[in-house]
Amino acid sequence: MATDNNLSADDNGTVRSITIQINNSSDGDLGIASGQLTGGNWEGSGSEPGPVPGNVISAGNVSFVNGASNVFSVLGGDIQLAPASGGSITITWSWPHGLGVTGSTSTSTLTGLSVTSSVINPQTNNPTLQVYVVDTATLTQALEQAAK
């Protein structure tokens, strides 16, 4: 009997998952205000594999994985970030059974920051929602250089 490797569980028993990768390229810290799931579980190692309110994301990358041991399970949730410069960033994702994965960001009263996001590898059982947080001045400078 043939085995479909795309439906086999990983070492944690996860059949499908979405990784939320936060890339903080700004000069400031991002505080985690909250992180909640509407489906699935936080996957990973350690006693707190999901986002912990009060923890800080400094410059660099951090990832959280929302996974399920059943291919029919709904995945989804949101993470709220509080930048040191003020305002808020909300990261939201959803992956209902039988439909495509979606992910987005919304912001409120940010000062000096720009945020963008995209879902990569949406056709797999393990897509990634990439979120980029950059200083607006740095982004403007990069865009001006690219236009020359």
CATH number of residue 124's parent domain: 2.60.270.50
Which tokens belong to 30?
């991002």
Sign, CA torsion 142/144/146/148: negative
Confidence of residue 10 (pLDDT cuts 50, 70, 90): low
User: pTM score, two decimals?
Assistant: 0.87
Number of domains composing the chain: 1
Check whether 3 has a pLDDT greater than 50. no
* Full residue range of the structural domain in which residue 48 is found: 5-147
Which tokens belong to 8?
């086999």
How far CA 135 is from CA of 11, 59, 79, 93, 122, in Å, comes to: 38, 11, 20, 24, 28
109 contacts 129 by C-beta, under 8 angstroms: no
- What are the tens digits of pLDDT across the range 20-41? 999 999 999 999 999 999 999 9
